[in-house]
Structure 1
Amino acid sequence: MEEADKGEVLERNTKSRLDSHPGATTGLLTDDLILEILSRLPARSVHRFKCVSVPWRDLIADPANRNKLPQTLAGFLYTSIGGGNRHHFASVSGNGAAPFEPSLPYLQPNKDKGMVQVDACNGLLLYLSCSKNMVNPWAWAEDDCRFAVCNPATGRWVELPPQPEAPAGRYRYNCMAGLAFDPAVSSHFHVFCFEKTSVETYKTGVNIYSSQTGAWSRRDGGIAEKVVLFFYSKGVFLNGMMYVIGNPNGISNEYALLGMDMEGKVRKTIPMPYGRRFGAIGSSQGCLLYGVASVDDNNKTLDSETELWCLKDCDSEEFVLKHTASIDELISMTGEKYRVAGIHPDCDTIYLVSRGGDTMVPYDMQHQKVGCILNLEKNTQRFLPYVPLFSESLADGDGQ
């Protein structure tokens, strides 16, 4: 039984007992016992249990209990370009408020320092900073770049040491990096930074930082031969594996999902559904999901079909189609074309961003329902899902 199914069974059993003996049951349960029960449920179930009673609502909403209860998606971090990179937050919680200052001023104490959002994983954020405020991060000199990992919910952060010097002929993807962190397993995290040799060989290597050792290690010799990773592509960490998307053999219309372990060794290479389509991958309900809109070779929407594919477990070698839906109603209502920018971690909802990049729309693939349209800044890019982590623990954190 999948994690989401177990959570739903537990929720139904709990709700059934409450409905049968509401007064007696709630009277017998202490706050500590209620919190223990709720901590074992999926985040979406916890939020539904706010409706049980006023005391339960106050218990769940109490800030002192946040680090004991699972949190759901708060929104998406994104960047607007033009006159420099500006950082924003698109809230999906309903109140529209950002849970923290998106520019994270403590990471850039002066305006002469450039900063790029790189990745997000289970409440931690990965940033790349530069000593100079240059608009194009690809122009940053390697010696001027530093990675930083932070927990914006607590304000704790750590700056990573410089990476090992790249060998002659290597090109480092400083913005093609991934953050690996699972608070249920360890307070330590890893950062993957990818590099390649030449366009002819497409040979990819990786540097891996471990917060446990406090040092980088190089995985040389080519972790994945003849696969080109995408500039600014986003990795997904799930069940001890880092997943990234690339072009096998450099074929522009074919995409493959690479799954690598914490040693940088590729364990699987999985063809992506409809190789010519490039959507978004995400971790949801214990599975890796791939959301995609119908596009042609020129990246223009051909029709209004969207699909959600699932890689059910770490042993899976192919994607299985989970949902197909039409967004005709949305397109006719807005006159916009859309791409998939993100996936909800607790349900089968995808987040569509208009081709102009100034609106985001949640779409429930299971029930085929359009959510409230969110207005964004113009010229947007790189959407990172953010789920708050209220634990004070951050391995090697400076606490600044």
Structure 2
Amino acid sequence: MDHCNGLFLLFSLLVVNPATQRWACLPPLPSHSTELDFRFLYDQGLIVFDPIVSPHYEVFMIPFVNPGQYCIERTDLVLKESEWPPSPLILHVFSSAAERWEEKSFVREGDSAGTVAYAQRQCHLDKHGNFYWRGALYVNSYFLMRISISDGSYQVIHHPIEVYKSRPYVYFGKSEKGVYLASLTIDGRLSIWVLDESCGQFKWVLEHQNNLKPLLLRLNRSKQVYGPWILRDINYHLYSQKFPGEWDLYDQNYDPSHFYSPNDEAPTENNFEWHSDDDDIVDNQCNSEERNRGDYLTFLGFHPYKEVVFMSSGSMKGFAYHIKSSKLQCLGNLYPKHYEHFAEHEHICQSFPYTPCWVDELPETSISVHNLCQD
């Protein structure tokens, strides 16, 4: 459902740290006790974790307007014309320090984003790209909502005017200069904005623009790279040793022991490095007649401290776009070796940059593959 500084929040309300191999189960979410009609809303959990400040974490349940036609037709007129987001905005917040859910109130500073009815018409937009930065939670909707955790306030930050005109795919993230907005149109036009938060005001400053279709065309004709994507927790060979014969239930022709070898182990950290002078990087040079062809891209995320945006083509191939040099780099096939056997018929539908963290206050409950096999 979400991730922050090395912690994962799963849809089953489990918090997991893959680096320390520990996890915690959150208590059931209580019912809302406010007067706001929550029948037309659904909650999305966002996790806040800053190991520099504290080893504890918080989980915020953020309400979004439900896209169902039933809600649009049956919700009363007064509710449909009420402002969204409301003020105060009441959120369920779980604190690992207090080990319980609490209701916290956040008062809006400035104007709302519109009405509930307008939010219902916009709710089909992608909600990925939420993140925590410098004491504030940034929530992606058809606007950017900045929730200040320390003083109990929030602001609505509208997209740049150009984004509203072209209606591209929008992604928010944090990188070298702070808060970034990346937009990508269906014909491959990429725009990058940086949020200026100086003097208490919020202003989007255009940082970069480019057409990526020519770069994709040249990259597709160049040398292809298919690594170093791997399964970091390769436990199917351990399972086959502990429970021989049970793999026949999934695939009678597949024996994981025939495929696994010591060479499948995780490579060293240096093998993950990529540089701007590699052979599979192309610059912004291409013939004009090729500009309307190429792959369709989606965002994976921003590099946390370099001006690099990660993208994928149909969730199959990974790319890194260097904003300062306008160069595109192929990161290979996103599906690791033997993935189709290990995950059966599951498909990768989303990827994101992940930085492991070795500090947490999660219980001493291991999720190692050894314990899973024994259990």
TM tier, smaller: 0.5 to 0.7
Query: Secondary structure of 1:339's match?
Result: strand
> 1:270 is matched with which residue?
157
SS at match of 1:381: coil
Could you tell me which residue of structure 2 aligns to residue 236 of structure 1? 131
> What CA deviation, in whole Å up to 9, does each residue of 1:213-262 have, x standing for no partner?
1111124699767464656534211111111122xxxxxxxx31110122
SS at 2:42 equivalent = strand
Residue of 120, 125, 135 corresponding to 2:8: 125
Cα shift readout 1:370-395 (whole Å, capped 9, x = no counterpart): 1123213595433332111123xx23
Match status 1:158 vs 2:24: yes
Q: How many residues were matched structurally? A: 247
Distance 1:222 1:267 in 2: 6
Measure, in 2, the Cα distance between the counterparts of 1:381 and 1:173. 21
Match of 2:62 among 187, 194, 202: 194
Q: How do residues 71-150 of structure 1 correspond to structure 2 at under 5 angstroms?
A: 118-129=1-12, 147-150=13-16
State whether residues 342 and 351 of structure 1, in contact with CA within 8 Å, keep that contact through their aligned partners in structure 2. yes
Equivalent residue of 2:53, what SS? Answer: coil
Would the alpha carbon gap of residues 286 and 317 (structure 1) be closer, same or farther in structure 2, given more than 3 Å must change?
same
Confirm or deny: 8 A CA contact 1:331 1:337 kept in the other structure.
Answer: no
Deviation at 1:398, TM superposition (A): 4.1
Alignment of 1:224-373 (within 5 A): 226=115, 228=119, 232-246=127-141, 255-262=142-149, 265-273=152-160, 274-275=163-164, 276-285=167-176, 287-293=178-184, 295=185, 301-302=186-187, 304-313=188-197, 315-333=200-218, 334=220, 335-354=294-313, 356-373=314-331
**Residue number in structure 2 paired with 1:212:** 97
CA–CA distance in structure 2, aligned partners of residues 281 and 369 of structure 1? 21
Check 1:121–1:265 CA distance in 2 against 1; reply closer, same or farther (3 A cut): same
User: Displacement of 1:277 after TM fit?
Assistant: 2.6
- Alignment-mate amino acid for residue 31 of structure 2: E
Corresponding position of 1:28: none
Contact 2:105–2:152 (CA<8 Å) still a contact in 1?
Answer: no
- The two structures have a TM-score, normalised by structure 2, of 0.58
Shift of 1:206: 2.3
Residues 163-220 of structure 1, C-alpha deviation per residue, up to 9 Å, x if partnerless?
112459424634x221111111111111111236765355564211111211111246
What is the CA–CA distance in structure 1 between the aligned matches of 2:106 and 2:307, rounded to whole Å?
A: 39
Aligned pair in 2 of structure 1 residues 232, 269: CA closer, same or farther (>3 Å)?
closer
Q: Please, which runs of 5 or more residues in structure 2 have no aligned partner?
A: 66-70, 73-79, 221-293, 336-345, 367-375
Q: Distance in 2 between matches of 1:221 and 1:364?
A: 37
Structure whose CA Rg is larger? 2
1:179 is paired with a residue whose SS is: strand
Q: 1:324 to 1:119 in 2, by over 3 A?
A: same
- Which is strand-richer, 1 or 2? 1
CA distance change for structure 1 residues 219 and 277 in 2, over 3 Å: closer, same or farther?
farther
Q: Return the offset for 1:331.
A: 2.9
2:354 alignment counterpart: 386
Contact 1:279 1:341 in 2 (8 A): no
Tell me if structure 2 keeps the 8 A contact 1:177–1:234: no
- Please give the secondary structure, in 1, of the residue aligned with 2:203: coil
RMSD: 2.9
TM-score, length-scaled by structure 1 = 0.55
Secondary structure at the counterpart of residue 10 of structure 2: strand
Asked if the contact 1:291–1:343 (Cα under 8 Å) also holds between the matched residues in 2, the reply is no
- Which amino acid in the other structure matches residue 397 of structure 1? P
1:326 Cα shift? 2.8
Contact 2:213 2:295 in 1 (8 A): no
Q: CA deviation at 1:313?
A: 4.3
Secondary structure at the aligned position of 1:330 is classed as: helix
Q: Is the 8 A contact 1:257 1:269 kept in 2?
A: yes
Is 1:173 matched up with 2:42?
yes
214 and 351 in structure 1: CA distance in 2 versus 1, 3 angstrom threshold: same
The answer (yes or no) to whether the contact 1:170–1:196 under 8 Å persists in 2 is no
Superposition deviation, residue 347 in structure 1? 0.7
Cα distance per residue 1:322-377 (max 9 Å; x no partner): 222332333323421213231111111111222x3322211101111111232135
